């Protein structure tokens, strides 16, 4: 199969680049090594839309973050992805950290962030009563927000597919050949695709993809972050995203509501060998609990419903890498996209098109491009009266499958049918939240398995948790 452009990586950056390129008369393909999109850092991060006070001025991070906030809010509305502009608080504990709050304020102003202010601890507690009495000074950033990162990724790639982009899953790149006409990209399972241009959005594997293409100019440092997710009953503990003063390893342990109504705490920051090192550790859990309670003492960690870890890709110089390769013609590296990568994703995609123009890609607008996507949660947003009418026409929406989250059979079937189609249990979970509630799938899993099997014309024994060999059942008795 031959394309104009191949995008390596189906995370939020690859997804937004694909959506941006779907506006133009180009043949584009996204290659994803896993069974679904949003499998790496794009499903396991804080889901924060950062205000822009933290990046070093004049870096790509600062420029992309500053421009990216408004762009992300706009695109999230177009794609019907749930988000909330809830604002953030960066908290100082004592005089030494207060000085850093003033530094962050000045840095934010230099980055073009105007809507910030410094308030006292008492003023902050009037806004956020659960905040620790030890908080002495706060940088308040009202433009910050929260969003569901994996739903954003799914929606971006789905919208790109609806506009003609192709997605090939289970395509783990093992070899990239360079020819006069472009690239020959091969997978471990024997598939082969070709294209004139290659955009490397492969996250923690982006240095390996670049090396395979002939560019060994950078090395990715994988950094793991552990999180604890609490029940929705704890979701109103705070209404803002609560940060501590950042360190060299990142923005520290945060406490935040999620876009779906839970409470999230974390992450840690530990250098690991690879993106596969995403285990939860006793030390990590203790760190999250102790530091989160420093900010918000009344958090009820007995209400934790799950824990997880995500591995983000960093680089020794600490900035994003977004550039046409200096060594390989036609290769564009979009790498080392750690925080604030989610916030910056639309701005990064926009910037990539500028780079493509610079290396000779002709971008001709499509006349019929549609940047909007149907709301996957439309049924939940209906009034009871409208739900009643809708169920009369669509009976599957009248049967609750997931009790904890109130997800219906109709919503699950829609997730299996809509681009990019949910092919396994975790894919359904990311699209519908079925299995993400208090019982973590204890009741609904058999019903979801049956729906996946029916929709895909397969046996229930062939339904997997997350693709590959992760089958849910071992056989029939």
Point out the residues that are catalytic: 50
Give the helix/strand (H/E) hosting 385. helix 384-393
CA distances to 131, 288, 400 from 233, rounded to whole Å, are 18, 19, 21
For residue 302, what is the DSSP state? G
For residue 326, what is the DSSP state? S
User: What is the CA angle 196-201-202, rounded to 5?
Assistant: 110
Q: Helix, strand, or coil here: 2?
A: strand
Query: What are the start-end ranges of the E strands in 254-319?
Result: 254-257, 263-266, 270-271, 304-314
DSSP string, 126-175: HH-TTS-TT--EEEEETT-EEE-HHHHHHHHHHHHHHTT-EEE-S--EEE
Q: Helix, strand, or coil here: 21?
A: helix
Give the helix/strand (H/E) hosting 118. strand 117-120
Task: Produce one character per residue of 6-38: b if its CB has 16 or more CB atoms within 10 Å, e if not.
Answer: bbbbbbbbbbbbbbbbbbbebbbbbbbbbbbbb
Residue 234: is it exposed, middle or buried by C-beta count within 10 angstroms (0-12/13-18/19+)? Answer: buried
């Amino acid at each position: 199969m031959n394309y104009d452009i191949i995008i390596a990586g189906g995370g939020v950056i690859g997804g937004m680049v694909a959506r941006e390129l779907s506006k133009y008369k180009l043949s584009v393909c996204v290659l994803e090594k896993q069974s679904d999109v949003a499998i790496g850092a794009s499903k396991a991060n804080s889901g924060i839309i950062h205000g822009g006070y933290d990046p070093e001025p004049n870096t790509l991070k600062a420029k992309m973050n500053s421009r990216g906030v408004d762009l992300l809010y706009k695109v999230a509305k177009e794609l019907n992805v749930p988000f909330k502009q809830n604002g953030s608080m960066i908290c100082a504990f004592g005089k030494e950290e207060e000085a850093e709050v003033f530094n962050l304020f000045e840095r934010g102003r230099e980055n073009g962030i105007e809507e910030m202010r410094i308030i006292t601890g008492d003023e902050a507690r009037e806004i956020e009563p659960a905040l620790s009495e030890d908080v002495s000074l706060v940088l308040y950033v009202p433009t910050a927000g929260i969003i569901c990162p994996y739903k954003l990724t799914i929606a971006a790639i789905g919208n790109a597919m609806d506009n003609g982009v192709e997605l090939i899953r289970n395509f783990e790149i093992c070899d990239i050949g360079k020819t006069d006409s472009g690239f020959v990209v091969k997978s471990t399972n024997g598939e082969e695709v070709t294209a004139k241009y290659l955009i490397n959005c492969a996250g923690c594997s982006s240095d390996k993809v670049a090396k395979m293409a002939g560019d060994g100019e950078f090395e990715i440092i994988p950094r793991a972050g552990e999180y604890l997710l609490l029940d929705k009953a704890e979701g109103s503990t705070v209404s803002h995203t609560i940060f501590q003063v950042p360190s060299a390893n990142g923005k520290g342990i945060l406490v935040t509501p999620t876009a779906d109504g839970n409470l999230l705490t974390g992450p840690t920051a530990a250098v690991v060998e690879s993106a596969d090192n995403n285990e939860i550790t006793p030390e990590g859990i203790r760190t999250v609990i102790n530091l989160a309670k420093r900010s918000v003492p009344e958090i009820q960690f007995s209400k934790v419903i799950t824990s997880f870890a995500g591995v983000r890709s960093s680089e020794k110089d600490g900035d994003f890498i977004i550039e046409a390769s200096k060594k390989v013609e036609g290769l564009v590296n979009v790498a080392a996209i750690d925080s604030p990568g989610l916030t910056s994703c639309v701005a990064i995609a926009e910037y990539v098109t500028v780079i493509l123009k610079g290396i000779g890609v002709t971008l001709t607008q499509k006349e019929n491009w549609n940047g909007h996507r149907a709301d996957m949660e439309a049924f939940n947003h209906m009034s009871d009266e409208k739900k009643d009418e809708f169920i009369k026409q669509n009976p599957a929406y009248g049967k609750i499958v997931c009790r904890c989250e109130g997800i219906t059979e109709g919503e699950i079937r829609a997730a299996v049918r809509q681009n990019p189609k949910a092919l396994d249990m975790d894919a359904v979970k990311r699209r519908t939240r079925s299995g993400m509630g208090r019982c973590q799938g204890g009741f609904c899993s058999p019903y979801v398995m049956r729906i996946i099997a029916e929709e895909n014309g397969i046996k229930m024994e062939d339904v997997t948790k997350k693709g590959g060999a992760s089958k849910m059942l071992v056989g029939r008795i």
